[in-house]
Amino acid sequence: MNTISTLNTAGARPLQFPIPANVYAETVVSVKHYTDRLFSFRITRPQSLRFRSGEFVMIGLPNAEKPVFRAYSIASPAWDDELEFFSIKVPDGPLTSQLQKIEIGDTVIMRQKSTGTLVVDALTPAKRLFMISTGTGIAPFASLLRDPDTYEKFEQVVLTHTCRDNAELTYGQELVAELENDPLIGELTGGRVTLYNSTTRETSGRMGRITALIGSGKFYTDLDIDKLDPETDRIMICGSMHMLRDVKELAEGLGFQEGSLHHPASFVVERAFVG
């Protein structure tokens, strides 16, 4: 499954419920289904919205008097004219059970404040940046990989993406493959971005959780790189709670210190989740 649709002249469909106060109401302009568990979509961007690449917003649907909102990382960079999101499909999820059914012209609502810890300003400068992700945790890195600020602050970027099955890796593969053709940052990315994929369920060329691959040394051997070092490296982590905990422990064991916008340091973790 890999289907995409884009906005046509049909326009927005009528709403069943009024839009709540103090939220943006934006129109779906494209939807792409990758598997029966993953899809991405793009919506119009509010003219007044300002955010840092890597941040998340609270989004929902105008399908109830009191809509359900969930945290979603913005997958598009801060300069983009549209907002992109990458989502799981949960059959009984309070939001995703309905969000996965959106079509072109539908309305998505969004609270007006963005926030998050996965921003380059929360890290001190270094040579290499490692973006560690599982599943839809790749979304904030999709934003950061397309932002010129990332390449001003770091010489090399390594993106890891671990999923259960091969098809779930497609979003990240397409993202990295298209970087060098990007009109804004293409010239900056050549030879500077490395994608490191693995699967945990379906057989692939590389199997295993990222913590196991790093711990065994296979990660370094595969990439032919030096081991993670807080003197030269920075780490961003986003994905499942299990992975967040394990990679955080691994990083701290190597001497990395958690940073924030107020106190930049050598690694950051995002703890907002979709459901």
Q: Computed from CA positions of residues 240, 56, 93, 44, in that sequence, does the dihedral angle turn out positive or negative?
A: negative
Q: How many residues can be counted in the chain?
A: 275
CA distances from 189 to 96, 118, 139, 144, 149 (A): 33, 20, 18, 12, 12
pLDDT per position as a tens digit, 112-128: 999 999 999 999 999 99
Domain span(s) for CATH 2.40.30.10 in the chain: 3-111
Contact 254, 38 (CB under 8 A): no
Report the pLDDT value the prediction gives residue 275, as an integer from 0 to 100. 36
For 136-172, the pLDDT digits (tens) are 999 999 999 999 999 999 999 999 999 999 999 999 9
What backbone phi and psi angles, to 5 degrees, belong to 192? -110, -10
Fold exhibited by the domain 120-269: Rossmann fold (3.40.50)
pLDDT above 70 for 24: yes
- Alpha helices for the chain (secondary structure H): 96-99, 139-144, 148-153, 170-179, 186-189, 210-216, 218-223, 241-253
The CATH 3.40.50.80 domain(s) of the chain lie at 120-269
Question: Which token pair is 136?
Answer: 């839809």
Q: For residue 66, how many other CB atoms are within 10 A of its CB?
A: 8
Q: Which overall architecture, per CATH, does domain 3-111 show?
A: Beta Barrel (2.40)
- pLDDT tens readout for residues 172-207: 999 999 999 988 899 999 899 999 999 999 999 999
